[in-house]
Structure 1
């Protein structure tokens, strides 16, 4: 699909990534249709279409669109890890809840889009389909899927089934796998870290040299649109990162610099943190913090010629500016 060939539909257009994709599309002069539930609001200039469950989508929702960027999903929630450990039945119920939206809902959306005449369907997946920690080197798109939790399993299954669907029907499928996404409007752990730094709280991260790939929401939006437009993207999987993997301690220091509040980092060895985590029942969280998760994103740069519009520092500066100016 070319920029001149029509409108792009975005499921989940009212979300963190969806809003960035919407702004980027409109900034390039590409018409955008946002598929959102209930009274959710889209970015100004986006044609909002109200939908119900993904499984009930009809071709009418995608009328006039040449491509779809599928962002709507059940996302990973903090309480899910505990639920998975409670009992086998609860873990299975949780997995089924993820599958209902992330697998079945995705396939239903793809089928409705295909019947509406859409030619390309871009799925926003996650690096979690490969694991929680890298294997001693950056993950590549060719690594075997090894998801660590129900969310990752559902995204891995969605990838496989969607690619099969595309092969069977002729719908062009593109898979995008981001690592941690940050930027203005970010929530969860990234926002918690900024809050802690801004308040001058000591953080036991000074000795954590584990490296983590990141992607700014604007870089991710740019790459995702490229995947919707470039003919060379069809049928492929792409990792998207900022192109530099900071250590956890380095990231905290950089955030402190951009916030104008030097991060108070205490050099606690990773082994000590892991020991304390076992006592507190927080092993999974600390393992993620102390383990590297590096992602190789050369493929999208080489195959599509995509270049990140923002550097890591530019992305962090924009995020810090939003943080300072936001309303409590």
Structure 2
């Protein structure tokens, strides 16, 4: 029985990951920075650490741990607060990751699984050529740059110590209790607002939380995972138009879609500092996971269509009682 330590255990990914690993008979130590009451799960030991850089707290917690799954990260900071809070990307995503890995190496942890981001590869793909694990990284923005820098520091630590490193780069992760842009899209569809996505022809890779958790668990035990960078997705690319249609099925709604002048829309969003939103909704971001599937003999167990409908249905059941 492997002993697993999961950081970010109260987060969107970490909470469900802890539950799944515990149900599969792993011994799970769950770490959260959240003060106050902590979610409980049968067979999971929860600990609250206010500062992930507090190496003194790690000595006992890392004792007898086989594998760390490091999901904790600073992801979203409002554009108008990047100057004020931008250093938290490096503080949490780089420095805290580095300190945890140093302590893990000293404690004899065998494997460190780092949840990075496809944004390390770049913001979008061109000419229907998907990202691969062999691409030269082209991170853009503070978040992506911090994830890439963390990857480099982890490689250095693991090369010196012999601790096995596994890097996972997922695109947008969706599922129950989804947050950020996809949540806003679900709310917009549910409100029956007209949406400017009538005939989008873009292709974007996503990954269901359940598929990503299955991949993480595979990386915990699979001997060929060591030393690898794995890209992740549902292995199915989807346009924004089809994404909305699938979410609408889960919401039991009929979306009102129209096709705007894209140049005008792009210019309008740029005026309100929302240029990145246009890219996420209209540009391509395709991920090639053939290396992941081949190396690990793994395929996503759940279909993208089913899980998108489930995501929207779960939100509807929670908010329209």
Same fold, judged at TM 0.5 (above): yes
Residue pair 1:211, 1:246 contacting (<8 A) in 2 also:
yes
Q: Deviation per CA, 1:185-204, whole angstroms, max 9, x where unpaired?
A: 10111111111111111100
Distance 1:94 1:145, change over 3 A: farther
Q: Distance in 2 between matches of 1:40 and 1:9?
A: 19
Determine the structure 1 residue equivalent to 2:111. Answer: 120
Alignment of 1:295-310 (within 5 A): 295-310=287-302
Partners of 1:178 and 1:269 in 2: how far apart? 31
Query: What is the SS of the residue equivalent to 2:259?
Result: coil
Q: Are the counterparts in 2 of residues 34 and 42 from structure 1 also a CA contact under 8 Å?
A: no
Task: State the shift of 1:327 in Å.
Answer: 4.2
Match of 1:87 in 2: none
**Native 8 Å contact 1:208 1:269 kept in 2:** no
Q: Which residue does the alignment assign to 2:94?
A: 103
Q: Which stretches of structure 1, 4 residues or more, deviate above 4 A after TM superposition?
A: none
Could you tell which deviates more after superposition, 217-226 or 108-117?
Answer: 108-117
1:71 aligns with 2:71: yes
Give the count of matched residue pairs.
315
| 1:94 to partner: Cα distance | 4.6
Match of 2:245 in 1: 253
Query: Which position in structure 2 is the counterpart of 1:12?
Result: 8
Q: 1:40 to 1:219 in 2, by over 3 A?
A: farther
Q: In structure 1, what is the Cα distance between the partners aligned to 2:36 and 2:135? A: 40
Relative distance call for 1:241 and 1:43 in structure 2 (3 A) is: farther
Match of 2:36 among 34, 39, 47: 39
Q: Secondary structure at the match of 1:33?
A: strand
Partners of 1:54 and 1:109 within 8 A in 2:
yes
- How far the C-alpha of 1:36 sits from its partner, in A, is 1.5
Aligned 8 A contact 1:12 1:72 in 2: yes
Alpha-carbon RMSD: 1.6
Unmatched segments (≥5 aa) in structure 1: 85-89
* 1:245-273 alpha-carbon deviations (Å, 9 max, x no partner): 10011101111122111221111142232
Give the direction of change, closer, same or farther, for the CA distance of 1:248–1:196 in structure 2 (3 Å limit): same
**Greater alpha carbon shift after TM alignment, 209-218 vs 261-270:** 261-270
Write the mapping of 1:157-236 to structure 2, written as runs, cut at 5 A: 157-236=149-228
**1:279 to partner: Cα distance:** 3.7
Is the aligned partner of 1:23 residue 2:14? no
- 8 A contact 1:69–1:121 mirrored in 2: yes
Cα distance change on mapping 1:299 and 1:158 into 2, 3 Å: same
The verdict on how the C-alpha distance between 1:323 and 1:10 changes in structure 2, with shifts beyond 3 A counting, is same
Q: CA deviation at 1:167?
A: 0.8
Distance in 2 between residues matched to 1:290 and 1:317, nearest whole Å: 21
Are residues 150 and 228 of structure 1, via their aligned partners in 2, closer, same or farther at CA, if it must alter by over 3 Å? Answer: same
Q: Work out the CA distance in 1 between the residues paired with 2:293 and 2:87.
A: 36
1:117-156 pair list within 5 angstroms: 117-136=108-127, 137-156=129-148
1:237-252 to 2 correspondences below 5 Å: 237-252=229-244
